[in-house]
Structure 1
């Protein structure tokens, strides 16, 4: 696996003339339009990158974008991979491993999620302060000791300094923020109301089908992480889950997320 990661990173380095991004960004469902904020220098289709899976979910365009955002070099995943697509966890998290070798010093993750906290409303941005993992752990199997320890600590896996910076930016830009714990499940079914009640009972504020594996792997490699959930539906309501509506709500709230991410990258 390590040799495959190195091979892929070397391929990308050659195609991007060793662009060396400072930050990585993972764009979730309905949030791919954020890529339009980036002054693109290179764009690689996932299907053309050795070792990369291919996005199969509507709303995930499947491109790795290299460019400038507020004068900083970034690499953005316009679409991610999910366990429910049938990929192994090593495949789901493979791009994060590669981004580390490409040079990123921090990782920004975003997702569309269902609100559990009854004070949340559709369109809110929730800063992820912690997570509960209900998926297979991506570190199961032989440890890649060259990249990180066998038993990585997950205390403060969402960087407190980055959260404080986001709070200050939101106050200045008059963006309302929520804060909470993200529950990561396998999907692809939207959760039952009983499951949402269970998630609430164990301390969750929002639930989704991604993010947690990528964060675990990033922390395994010592990469600071900042995460945002866009609340696209309220899980405890009687409304049925709808992927098209999730995408639609994600695009609307994504405008606020774009301001937040731009300003945070600017301050790196």
Structure 2
């Protein structure tokens, strides 16, 4: 579904207020928004002020576009994202990525809070995303071909950049953080999965499950933006977890690992 006019209007609005070209885009998931404290020389644009931008309605998503520097690199961070379960069409879900792409980013970091499917994982683990499984039936490339957003048909073999994954292994080791890597499964939500669904995901090869990220990655790859992704395992999924699942648990666990998460992202920016 095309939203070229909305994207162009947002880009023009931002360019009137920001005087540099961002190299790196960062999408901050539930409870992970504190990373913005690491950004220097910040300029903050609330989503509500940007033409065409949706407003994040989820607790743990502040709803700001933040420009500045990390390790002397120009970055733009989305402090909060948009989800299909909020009722937004997929063109709105990926609007931020397309805006960042037209602003000039070459690399996108995506982060999220996810449920652990791999029983070797534990809450608080930070899983580097190696690949994903899209079970939503949605794809942001559906519709007319818009040259500004990239070709209609494009390769997803290396959706997550292999060079950046190798660099992440070094960053984890340097910081004494246990390295986890796996496949992220995307479902629409907002209900958490049933135990039977989690068993299915496990059989399919998924290590974590969540309700975001994949549309953004598809949109980024369509624009030939390389991607690095990290899932914060905030809880074990249904049928594995012995407790009732809640969004409060998601935010609380994200907050506990925010220092490790922040270190990984800042060091990965330095490695670019």
Identify the residue that residue 87 of structure 1 maps to in structure 2.
88
Alignment match of 1:186 (pick from 185, 188, 193):
188
Structure 1 residue 26 corresponds to structure 2 residue 30: no
Instruction: List gaps (5 residues or longer) in structure 2.
Output: none
Kindly state the Cα deviation for residue 185 of structure 1 after the two structures are TM-superposed. 0.5
- TM-score when normalising by structure 1: 0.97
Cα deviations by residue, 1:59-89 (Å, 9 ceiling, x for unpaired)? 1000000011121110000000000000000
Kindly state the Cα deviation for residue 196 of structure 1 after the two structures are TM-superposed. 0.6
Kindly state the Cα deviation for residue 107 of structure 1 after the two structures are TM-superposed. 0.1
Instruction: List gaps (5 residues or longer) in structure 1.
Output: none
- Whether contact under 8 Å (1:230, 1:254) holds in the other structure is no
Structure 1 residue 249 corresponds to structure 2 residue 253: yes
- TM-score when normalising by structure 2: 0.96
**For residues 92-131 of structure 1, what are the structure 2 equivalents within 5 Å?**
92-131=93-132
Structure 1 residue 239 corresponds to structure 2 residue 240: no
Cα deviations by residue, 1:99-133 (Å, 9 ceiling, x for unpaired)? 01111110000000000001001100100000000
Kindly state the Cα deviation for residue 180 of structure 1 after the two structures are TM-superposed. 0.4
SS in 1 for 2:111: strand
**For residues 119-268 of structure 1, what are the structure 2 equivalents within 5 Å?**
119-135=120-136, 136-235=138-237, 236-268=240-272
SS in 1 for 2:100: helix
Moved over 4 A (4+): none
Kindly state the Cα deviation for residue 98 of structure 1 after the two structures are TM-superposed. 0.4
Kindly state the Cα deviation for residue 146 of structure 1 after the two structures are TM-superposed. 3.2
Kindly state the Cα deviation for residue 252 of structure 1 after the two structures are TM-superposed. 1.3
